[in-house]
Amino acid sequence: MKRTVSDVMTRTVVSVNGFAPFKDIVRKMQDYRVSAVPVVDEDDIVLGIISEGDLILKEDADLEGEPRFLDGARRRQDRSKATGRTASELMTAPAITIGPHATLGEAARLMHRHAVKRLPVVDPADGTILGIVSRTDLLKVFLRDDAEIAQEVREDVIRRTLWIDPDTIRIVVRDGVVTMDGQVEHRSLLSVLEPLVLSCEGVVAVDNRLTYLPDDTVPPTHLPFPWISSVSRAGR
């Protein structure tokens, strides 16, 4: 069974309200050893997020002074943060959030798409914060035991999903790399099997050494009964 965001997220969330001053935010991040904090309202609904990257803009001398004509949207936003005093002025908003039942793959794709390192996890019903999930949390799946991965590949993928006798395929997992050796009935199974194995949590790569019997991916070059072709043409 695939794990979801709620299985790996940090449930104790260090957050601030929109009125928190700059130094209080820095102090809280230092005290709790976190690199970012969500900004929430009085109902614990996420308004935005503040990272160390947002705070360090205070040290960028190039951002001092009034906005310039040639400043792009990102540059103007950075200038605003560099002069910000409270959480509401410093935060990146709206925050990119995710629900607790999303898969780890969905969380990883969302982080990559928006170039963020963490996602506040919110209740889909009311938007209140439930936790926070980071890249480090997602990488924990690769600590999964090799024997556990082999069991999932053998039983869930090969036997239950593809209805293949697992005794016909030798599965060896070492450091997350799955090696498959043996023979399958049809070549088309190879294009299905490998992606399924790669989708198992903790799998780093697949070394596919499987062979096949008939190649069912290539259409036949001739008909076994030539007269069928003649009849077909005659009936047109």
The yes-or-no verdict on residue 138 having pLDDT over 50 is: yes
Q: Which residue has the tokens 């599965």?
A: 171
CA atoms of 59 and 81, how far apart (whole Å): 11
Which DSSP helix (H) or strand (E) runs through 192? helix 188-198
110: its two tokens: 């969302």
Question: Whose CA is closest to 209, among 175, 155, 170?
Answer: 170
Yes or no: say if 85 and 23 are a contact pair by the CB < 8 Å rule.
Answer: no
Q: Which residue has the tokens 């259409």?
A: 219
Which DSSP helix (H) or strand (E) runs through 171? strand 169-174
Give me the pLDDT at residue 215, please: 64
Residue 189 lies in a domain: yes
Q: Of 111, 140, 169, which closes a domain?
A: 140
The upper half-sphere exposure of residue 204, i.e. CA atoms within 13 Å in the direction of its Cβ, equals: 13
Asked if residue 120 and residue 9 are part of one domain, the reply reads yes
User: Mean per-residue pLDDT for 67-88?
Assistant: 67
Asked if residue 118 and residue 42 are part of one domain, the reply reads yes
Residue 33 lies in a domain: yes
CA atoms of 157 and 154, how far apart (whole Å): 6
Q: Tell me: the pLDDT tens digits for 140-181? A: 888 889 999 999 999 999 999 999 998 999 999 999 999 999
Give me the pLDDT at residue 128, please: 95
Residue 219 lies in a domain: no
Asked if residue 169 and residue 136 are part of one domain, the reply reads no
Asked if residue 42 and residue 55 are part of one domain, the reply reads yes
Asked if residue 52 and residue 31 are part of one domain, the reply reads yes
Number of structural domains found in the chain: 2
CA atoms of 100 and 42, how far apart (whole Å): 21
The CATH number linked to 48 is 3.10.580.10
What range defines the domain where residue 58 resides? 5-140
